[in-house]
């Protein structure tokens, strides 16, 4: 006899489906309902718990996943938000993150650092976090932050052998425009970014705290909370802050760890 089991999302290039690991839903029913509630999936309770019915086909209720300006089409099942759905956008033909490649020193020079986040948009990337995460690809020795137009560094840090680091200086100020630089054996490239204004930042901070409190009350773990925040930032086109959530977990799930490992190469060498 089939029992309802907690669904695991399976994503392939051609179709989406829901599979069920070997765990009884009787112990996980409430959590499953919480997940569907959080993601806005509208499933009838009587169909969800129909005895002896294993898959959850909802072809009559097909709902594309909307993340920011991107819509991901579903073929047979409504997909719960996951790191995979966000990575689909990051690794798309027109990704929302636009890294800056550093200039080489001359012919034959292969040193060419790639500054991933905050990224190099035509207009400065708006950033919510006053202690942002910097992500790059390449043999960088040091990174630095300064006010845009200034020659004086507000903060710098040696990062040899690393590909990311969190800003640890004094909190960056709302509305101010900053520049981050990567330093090493190359012509130092830089990227300008702008801190969100105070009123908008306070509003988002309050919304995120409310969201986190609700998820904690439902028993969500740290990765589920980080994923919810990442989707919130993606929905609001705050991609630097979205990536900071993805990198915030010291022990990520295998899915997230794989995405983090692939992300620099995927964005810098599409």
DSSP codes of every residue in 55-101: ----GGG---EEETTEEEPPSSSPPPP-HHHHHHHHTSSS-S---EE
Helix axes 198-217, 222-235, angle to 10 degrees: 140
Lowest mean pLDDT among 128-137, 183-192, 246-255: 183-192
Exposure class string for 235-266: b at 16+ Cβ within 10 A, else e? ebebbbbbbbbbbbbeebeeebeebbeebbee
37-55 pLDDT, tens digit each: 444 444 333 333 333 333 3
185-210 pLDDT, tens digit each: 777 789 999 999 999 999 999 999 99
> Which CATH number describes the domain made up of 100-195?
2.60.40.10
Mean pLDDT to the nearest integer, 238-267: 95
Six token digits for residue 237: 């086109």
First to last CA, the chain: 47
Give the span between the Cα atoms of 110 and 144, in whole angstroms. Answer: 22
Residue partners of 158: CB distance under 8 A and separation at least 6:
141, 142
Global pTM value = 0.71
Quick one: pLDDT at residue 19? 37
Instruction: For residue 111, name the pLDDT band (cuts at 50, 70, 90).
Output: low
Quick one: pLDDT at residue 7? 39
3-class DSSP state for residue 18? strand
167 has pLDDT over 70 = yes
Residues of the chain with CATH 2.60.40.10: 100-195
């Amino acid at each position: 006899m089939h029992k309802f089991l907690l669904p695991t999302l399976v994503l392939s290039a051609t179709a989406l489906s829901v599979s069920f690991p070997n765990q009884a839903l009787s112990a996980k029913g409430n959590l499953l309902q919480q997940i569907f509630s959080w993601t806005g999936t509208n499933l009838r309770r009587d169909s969800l718990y129909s005895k002896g019915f294993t898959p959850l086909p909802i072809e009559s209720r097909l709902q594309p996943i909307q993340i920011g300006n991107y819509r991901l089409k579903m073929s047979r099942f409504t997909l719960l938000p996951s790191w995979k759905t966000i990575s689909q956008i990051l690794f798309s033909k027109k990704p929302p993150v636009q890294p800056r490649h550093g200039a080489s020193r001359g012919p034959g020079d292969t040193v060419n650092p790639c500054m991933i986040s905050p990224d190099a948009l035509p207009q400065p990337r708006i950033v919510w976090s006053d202690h942002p995460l910097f992500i790059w690809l390449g043999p960088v020795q040091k990174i630095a932050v300064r006010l845009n137009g200034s020659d004086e560094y507000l903060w710098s840090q040696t990062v040899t052998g690393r590909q990311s680091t969190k800003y640890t200086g004094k909190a960056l100020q709302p509305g101010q425009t900053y520049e981050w630089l990567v330093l090493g054996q190359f012509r130092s490239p830089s990227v300008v970014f702008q801190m969100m204004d105070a009123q908008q930042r306070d509003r988002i901070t309050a919304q995120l705290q409310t969201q986190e409190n609700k998820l904690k009350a439902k028993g969500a773990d740290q990765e589920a909370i980080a994923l919810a925040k990442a989707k919130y930032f993606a929905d609001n086109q705050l991609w630097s802050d979205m990536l900071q959530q993805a990198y915030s977990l010291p022990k990520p799930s295998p899915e997230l760890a794989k995405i983090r490992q692939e992300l620099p190469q995927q964005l810098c060498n599409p």
